[in-house]
Structure 1
């Protein structure tokens, strides 16, 4: 189950990274004044994903280092959510008019810059406590090839076996369409990186002709009710 979640998260992250690397994404970032920030956190997320896959060492008993790795993982989830929200504004042209309001632009830019500051803080924490030391070159350059190949093969298999998303999509569609006379509000919750945005996007798109009025909101743990209703 955990392996499937990791593979699913990787697929979702790869999709988000591709979206924010497009020319349209670059233009939107430029409009918001966060072009350099988006480039920075996009690159950091790629590095974090690679680091976290390599940092899974069950024999590591250094509590301080384990805490730092957990902080990196939590921050990676926050970056994923931040970039996913950015990509929503990018894809949904009907939301672009909201970007004309100064408050909305400031809020999005503030969130992105806050994430960048957190990345820099985590990086400085590593240097301050000397948590990750340079790896000495091995005498046998092929000594780790077997483990690396196995890990890459496992990731490919996990991605191929991701059938859970289709099943969840069918369940959500059933919930939303089983009684069309009633208003429906459905929550999709969970930790960052599990593909919630991807799942909801697919359901939202598949029900375009089923409802005369529909809305999809992305809400963080801390939110402003006034901004939510605007």
Structure 2
């Protein structure tokens, strides 16, 4: 899920540097033209660095993701992306707060109102710090983090394909451009929330390129904190059950280092029992992205405990026979624009 966090930060930077926001900033901060230009240049450099890191992450073999050095590096990248996202929120709120677009803009685009307003100078200094941190992380990766890949061509082809699809999310996340996105998001949020305590499966169905993953990522980011634990995993057509299990455990267990270290030598059966035991008493939210085969979902769904805690599983798929495995009335189908409405 780190790839999505980075893409969200890149997307927000893109909006901050777009013509509308840039023109508004140049008017509001006319007396500070040089400082504003330097801040915008710095944001652009951060966005470019994040894009490179995103591409690296998408090419990392999943087996390298169990490496402790890699995990530490990845967590630092994730932190920088989150802080950068907050700084862009501060900047955009500062730019728009005295104008008609301010409140509406934040509601429509899903930006957070900053808890404490920073001045332009403070934001510029923090962005500079983020730029230095990313530069340091790039150097650290080159020195210490093992690189791709161990010759698994089938896994690599899937990683490259998903890299391209995830890159498209940076464009899709501008939700005004997605057809019916507000209605679709509201429907998903309604299904994920509510008072229904039974564990339910939600399916997001649609052909490639309609923004399934982008919509799921938007909902995931907003709704996940309502659950005790959560995870996002992508499922290839030739997925490894063990890799998926380990990936889920790492995300769901969060910072439980002792538990994570104890799973390193476990076989598949032990991993499955560990996961089931952990989920048994918790309200969890798991997204299975890009599921191609009903048998794959049947295989993976055995790991999920139906514990009457209000847990939710969401899957994205382009296959109707996979979506049919969702709970009754829990299939959301994304449709392509008709030609006369495009």
TM-score when scaled to structure 2? 0.35
Name the one with the larger strand percent: 2
